[in-house]
């Protein structure tokens, strides 16, 4: 099969700085079309065609798959529009704003016979894949504790991340990353209970900081997401047979740089990689029918369920 032809909805910071270049570099993928409110911004990403209408990309017969990098509240409507047009979809995290919406999105994709994947790009990084493999193979024994932090100070602005109506807030934006890793490391069907939440809103409606304590059958963990705290990206996972940890404060954003992982009492080294490129290559390969790994829809639904529970306790 020829290259998967991608259409982008949105040409914002992420597309401009990372994902368009990732598609251009990816094996088995091509950037067919991009839409932005400013067509010059779309054209700057060097697609074969630039549009000022998202609908035009969805309706383009030469587009096989849609990548969505819009404000969070726009994800579900454009997922549904794309799958109803028979397009595969890779949508930025958070996939949608609730577990009910996640189930609706996957049911629509299944009914249309297309692939829907949440673009949690760090899950394609070899270091994160290694952590999940160690946990799920049982090398670490039963998972007993977890700490995942993604915090950094962000200047208040008119960015959608500070808009409640647009699905903003630290939990949706960066809390998704440590939650995805934790759930990927636990056995399928393992219940995750949210037992305590601390939330700082700062009068904006959205959460500037969310700290959540969770438990499961064999252990407990903490997830911290913040636009207000000092920069920290920590990942520590303990099992009955050993510990893994990332100690470079780039747990979820290692990009084009060598990285390392401490496994029990030794260090594993990973070469520089563009996990965005790996993501587009593997999603494209899955679309072509190859048996490659992508973020499972069931995990995205479980993450959405945990986010719902955290938000319910922080209301």
CB 142 within 8 A of CB 239: yes
Q: What confidence tens digit (pLDDT) does each residue in 268-287 have?
A: 999 999 999 999 999 999 99
Residue 301 lies in a domain: no
Q: Are residues 208 and 264 in the same domain?
A: yes
> Which among 119, 135, 160 is the end of a domain?
119
Structure tokens at 129: 């894949």
- Amino acid 173: pLDDT: 97
Q: Are residues 173 and 231 in the same domain?
A: yes
CATH number for the domain harbouring residue 105: 3.40.50.720
**DSSP sequence for 157-194:** -S-GGG-TTTT-SHIIIIIHHHHHHHHHHSPTT---EE
| Residues contacting 147, CB < 8 A, separation 6+ | 221, 222, 234, 235, 236, 237
Q: What confidence tens digit (pLDDT) does each residue in 19-78 have?
A: 999 999 999 999 999 999 999 999 999 999 999 999 999 999 999 999 999 999 999 999
C-alpha to C-alpha distance for 219 and 110, rounded to whole angstroms: 34
Reply yes or no on whether the pLDDT at 254 is more than 80: yes
C-alpha to C-alpha distance for 121 and 184, rounded to whole angstroms: 14
- Amino acid 155: pLDDT: 87
C-alpha to C-alpha distance for 118 and 79, rounded to whole angstroms: 11
C-alpha to C-alpha distance for 250 and 258, rounded to whole angstroms: 11
Global pTM?
A: 0.97
CATH number for the domain harbouring residue 227: 3.30.360.10
Q: Are residues 84 and 174 in the same domain?
A: no
Per the structure, the complete domain to which residue 160 belongs is given by 126-272
% of residues, the chain, pLDDT over 90: 95
Q: What confidence tens digit (pLDDT) does each residue in 72-90 have?
A: 999 999 999 999 999 999 9
Q: Are residues 138 and 248 in the same domain?
A: yes
- Amino acid 281: pLDDT: 98
Structure tokens at 248: 């470079």
**272 exposure class (CB count in 10 Å sphere: 0-12, 13-18, 19+):** exposed
Q: Which residues, in sequence order, are bridge partners of residue 89?
A: 66, 116
- Count of domains in the chain? 2
Residue 311 lies in a domain: no
Reply yes or no on whether the pLDDT at 156 is more than 90: no
Reply yes or no on whether the pLDDT at 160 is more than 80: yes
Reply yes or no on whether the pLDDT at 220 is more than 80: yes
Reply yes or no on whether the pLDDT at 1 is more than 70: no
Q: What is the mean pLDDT of the chain?
A: 96
Among candidates 160, 304, 175, which has minimal Cα distance to 229? 175
DSSP state of 271: -
Please state the rounded mean pLDDT for residues 199-204.
86
Query: How far is C-alpha 288 from the chain's CA centre?
Result: 22
CB 294 within 8 A of CB 286: yes
> Which among 82, 97, 119 is the end of a domain?
119
Q: Are residues 145 and 264 in the same domain?
A: yes
Q: Which is it for strands 232-239 and 242-246: parallel, antiparallel or unpaired?
A: antiparallel
Please state the rounded mean pLDDT for residues 298-303.
97
């Amino acid at each position: 099969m020829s290259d998967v032809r991608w259409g982008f909805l949105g040409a914002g910071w992420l597309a401009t700085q990372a994902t368009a270049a990732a598609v251009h570099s990816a094996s088995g993928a091509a950037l067919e079309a991009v839409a932005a409110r400013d067509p010059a911004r779309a054209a700057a990403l060097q697609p074969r065609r630039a549009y000022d209408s998202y609908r035009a990309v969805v309706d383009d017969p030469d587009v096989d798959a849609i990548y969505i990098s819009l404000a969070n509240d726009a994800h579900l409507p454009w997922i549904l529009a794309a799958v109803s047009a028979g397009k595969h979809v890779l949508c930025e995290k958070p996939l949608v704003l609730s577990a009910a919406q996640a189930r609706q999105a996957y049911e629509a994709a299944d009914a249309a016979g297309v692939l829907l994947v949440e673009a949690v790009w760090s899950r394609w990084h070899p270091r994160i894949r290694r952590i999940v493999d160690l946990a799920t193979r049982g090398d670490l024994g039963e998972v007993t504790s977890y700490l995942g932090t993604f915090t950094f100070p962000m200047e208040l602005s008119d960015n959608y991340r500070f808009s409640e109506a647009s699905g903003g807030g630290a939990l949706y934006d960066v809390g998704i990353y440590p939650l995805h890793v934790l759930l990927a490391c636990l056995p399928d069907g393992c219940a995750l209970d949210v037992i305590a939440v601390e939330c700082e809103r700062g009068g904006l409606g959205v959460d500037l900081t969310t700290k959540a304590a969770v438990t499961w059958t064999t252990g407990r963990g903490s997830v911290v997401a913040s636009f207000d705290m000092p920069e920290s990206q920590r990942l520590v996972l303990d099992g009955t047979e050993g510990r893994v940890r990332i100690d470079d404060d780039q747990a979820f954003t290692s990009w084009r740089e060598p990285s390392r992982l401490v496994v029990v009492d030794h260090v594993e080294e990973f070469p520089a990689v563009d996990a965005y490129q790996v993501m587009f290559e593997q999603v494209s390969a899955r679309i072509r029918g190859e048996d490659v790994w992508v973020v499972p829809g069931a995990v995205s639904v479980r993450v959405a369920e945990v986010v719902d529970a955290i938000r319910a306790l922080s209301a």
